[in-house]
Amino acid sequence: MPAETVTVELGRRSYPVRIGAGVRREALAAAKARVDAGRRCAAITSPGVAGALPDFVAELGRLMPVLVTARDGETAKSAEEAARCWDFLAGNGVARDGAVLAFGGGVVGDLAGFAAASYQRGVEFIQVPTTLLAMVDSSVGGKTGINLASGKNLVGAFHQPAAVFADTELLRTLPGREFAAGMAEVIKHGLIADADLFGLLEQNAPLAWNHALLPAVVRRCVEIKAGVVAGDERETSAHGGRALLNLGHTFGHAVEAVAGYGTYLHGEAVAIGLAMAASLSSELGRCTPAQTERVRAVLTAHGLPDRLRGPLPVDRLLEAMRRDKKVRGGRMRFVLLEGVGAASTDDGVTEEAAVRALLAGGAAR
């Protein structure tokens, strides 16, 4: 199947998302064109990616210096690692006309994107995602950032990439657990915007990297996200807008922070958060108990958890949720399901209702 393009429409800052087997070669060509024009470029990847895809990393290395992060996983999204990236860019002479290429999953994309956004007040940035989660979600939309001990992504910047090259061939190297984690974001896209996509995921579980439907599923998720980002790039809408993409994330980010980064993959925490959000939505009459069960069933069918593996304290989870970036005027802002295929934001949810959703997902008092 030939590669396809979805355009993120942002006026003069619009950019293509190329989707298909082999498009990493296009990324290499784009990087080479910049280097040939005399622009200093650098790439950032991770130990896991460098080990799984050494040939492509070596090709990048022949074009530009490559920084491998000190570790894999969410702990790499730290102030210390960001400073290491800045020093690397400066030490290799990357100037304002330079570019940073991110080759990796969501962690690498967020970290490299933040480094690009902040180094010399912003240099160009190219995304080459290597995980399903990054392809369908984090590589598109320009959110970059690092974590603090207090919470996830509390430091960051909006910095749109110049292009995204989502090479579905790269998914063959992805461990099964990582692939399943990406499916959480795919399921989320169906829940907030496309009931037909959600139904397809119900009928074809579990998907795998070489499933015939996967390229179309990736494209549909990118289309959904591109449309949302074009309408509310910086998440400033009073209702709905880009915040809808956070379905399950208020709960999920709290789970990651309290359990300790790395205990759950991001997609696993989001899956638990989706189940909690569905439970909350059902209690508030936004969706039916049967629809909540459909959410749980599709999560487990794709190899994802629908509740905590072990109890976490409710009070600590609530504390983490109160520090979430989506808090407005001191009130937590939740994304709620309106059935399947639609969602809305609500900052009037009581803490008592949130606690009941946490308890339903396996938290403990």
DSSP string, 344-358: EEES---HHHHHHHH
The confidence score (pLDDT) of residue 325 equals: 73
Which pairs with CB-CB distance under 8 Å and at least 24 residues apart come from 177-180? 177/265, 177/303, 178/105, 178/131, 178/132, 178/133, 178/265, 178/267, 179/131, 179/132, 179/208, 179/209, 180/206, 180/267, 180/268, 180/302, 180/303, 180/304
Q: Which of 81, 178, 246, 302 is catalytic?
A: 246
Q: Identify whether residues 180 and 166 lie together within a single domain.
A: no
CB 139 within 8 A of CB 109: yes
pTM: 0.95
CB 334 within 8 A of CB 354: yes
The confidence score (pLDDT) of residue 171 equals: 97
The span from the CA of 63 to the CA of 235, in Å, is 36
The span from the CA of 278 to the CA of 288, in Å, is 9
Does the active-site annotation cover 242?
yes
CB 258 within 8 A of CB 312: yes
Structural domain ending residue among the three candidates 151, 173, 195: 173
Domain that holds residue 44: 4-173
Q: Which of 74, 81, 185, 256 is catalytic?
A: 185
Structure-block tokens of residue 149: 């001990």
Please name the amino acid found at residue 47: P
Residue 203 lies in a domain: yes
Q: Which of 84, 253, 302, 333 is catalytic?
A: 253
Q: Identify whether residues 150 and 290 lie together within a single domain.
A: no
The span from the CA of 158 to the CA of 142, in Å, is 5
Q: Identify whether residues 154 and 246 lie together within a single domain.
A: no
The CATH number of whichever domain residue 95 belongs to comes to 3.40.50.1970
Residue 159 lies in a domain: yes
CB 86 within 8 A of CB 111: no
Q: Identify whether residues 240 and 311 lie together within a single domain.
A: yes
Q: Identify whether residues 165 and 123 lie together within a single domain.
A: yes
Q: Which of 18, 24, 77, 143 is catalytic?
A: 143
The confidence score (pLDDT) of residue 130 equals: 98
Does the active-site annotation cover 253?
yes
Q: Identify whether residues 143 and 231 lie together within a single domain.
A: no
Structural domain ending residue among the three candidates 129, 153, 173: 173
The CATH number of whichever domain residue 190 belongs to comes to 1.20.1090.10
Q: Identify whether residues 317 and 351 lie together within a single domain.
A: yes
Residue 365 lies in a domain: no
Domain count, the chain: 2
pLDDT-flagged residues of the chain (< 50): none
Does the active-site annotation cover 249?
yes
The confidence score (pLDDT) of residue 154 equals: 92
Residue 332 lies in a domain: yes
Q: Identify whether residues 53 and 120 lie together within a single domain.
A: yes
Structural domain ending residue among the three candidates 157, 173, 189: 173
Q: Identify whether residues 128 and 142 lie together within a single domain.
A: yes
Residue 20 lies in a domain: yes
Residue 313 lies in a domain: yes
Does the active-site annotation cover 239?
no
Q: Identify whether residues 139 and 213 lie together within a single domain.
A: no
Does the active-site annotation cover 152?
no
The confidence score (pLDDT) of residue 258 equals: 96
Residue 302 lies in a domain: yes
The confidence score (pLDDT) of residue 69 equals: 98
Does the active-site annotation cover 59?
no
Q: Which of 34, 266, 294, 326 is catalytic?
A: 266
Q: Which of 159, 242, 302, 326 is catalytic?
A: 242
Q: Identify whether residues 246 and 311 lie together within a single domain.
A: yes
68's enclosing H/E stretch is strand 66-68
Does the active-site annotation cover 143?
yes
Residue 274 lies in a domain: yes
| Dihedral (Cα; 318, 323, 324, 329), 10-degree rounding | 100
Q: Which of 159, 249, 294, 302 is catalytic?
A: 249
The confidence score (pLDDT) of residue 150 equals: 82
Q: Which of 12, 62, 121, 365 is catalytic?
A: 121
Q: Identify whether residues 136 and 184 lie together within a single domain.
A: no
